[in-house]
Structure 1
């Protein structure tokens, strides 16, 4: 399994775990300190997904949260955490249910959805021959 925290460290980014109140987001990127802060005590698959997502914000230089920034960060996380071979093998073994795929691939459902947006083929081409 890909060690996302070790990867962050290779980029010079520190991952800090803190007890955070519920009204704060479960994770965030601080570009000034090059730190990703994560709520302490979350399940591993959520932590992996959150760190990868925040690395996406770091990669793209996001400074505010917008729908586009969140989509880009999720897609970045999907590329980091899920290979096409792993996704396809898991889908063959367990079906297409997002929750089941997320559990088996050790990510959150939004990362599965983001992966799918990156690997969809337009429907118009499915049955056409050239």
Structure 2
């Protein structure tokens, strides 16, 4: 995967955590685990060219939060507005969620929590994905 070919080319590629870290490296953005303000899971510092992840995140949370913060890095914003947060979450959802996996899981999952577990992402990522690409169940 190469972020230089554009974010659209990455859509649905469902990169691993290691691949996300490599993508950040291609952008010259460092990834660190560091204490953050209460309630924050991650942050992008444009001036310092770094993404910070809160300590204690599960691997699924790390992957989901890192993809969200990568969205901020690609847009070169630090998430100061609700619109910027929605855009970063949409980027993360479209990056991490493989549409074919959603179609397969759609045949049996009962709710967003099960879908998130099946896809290896947070429920917030699933909700953002479904807001843009609703689940179509077979009749």
With the length of structure 1 as denominator, give the TM-score of the two structures: 0.81
- CA distance in 2 between counterparts of 1:119 and 1:91 reads 12
What is the count of residue pairs matched by the alignment? 119
**Does residue 69 in structure 1 map to residue 95 in structure 2?**
no
**Does residue 7 in structure 1 map to residue 23 in structure 2?**
yes
Aligned to 1:28: 43
CA RMSD of aligned residues (A): 2.0
Aligned to 1:42: 57
Please list, as runs of the form range in 1=range in 2, the aligned pairs for 1:1-130 lying within 5 A after superposition. Answer: 2-3=15-16, 4-18=20-34, 20=35, 23=38, 25-92=40-107, 94-120=108-134
- Gaps of at least 5 residues in structure 2 are 1-13
- Gaps of at least 5 residues in structure 1 are 122-130
Q: Which has the larger radius of gyration?
A: 1
Residue 95 of structure 1 aligns to a residue whose secondary structure is coil
Alpha carbons 2:43, 2:78 under 8 Å: kept? no
The structure-2 alpha-carbon separation of the partners of 1:21 and 1:75, relative to structure 1 and needing over 3 Å to count, comes to closer
The structure-2 alpha-carbon separation of the partners of 1:85 and 1:31, relative to structure 1 and needing over 3 Å to count, comes to same
The structure whose RCO (Cα within 8 Å, separation 6+) is larger is 2
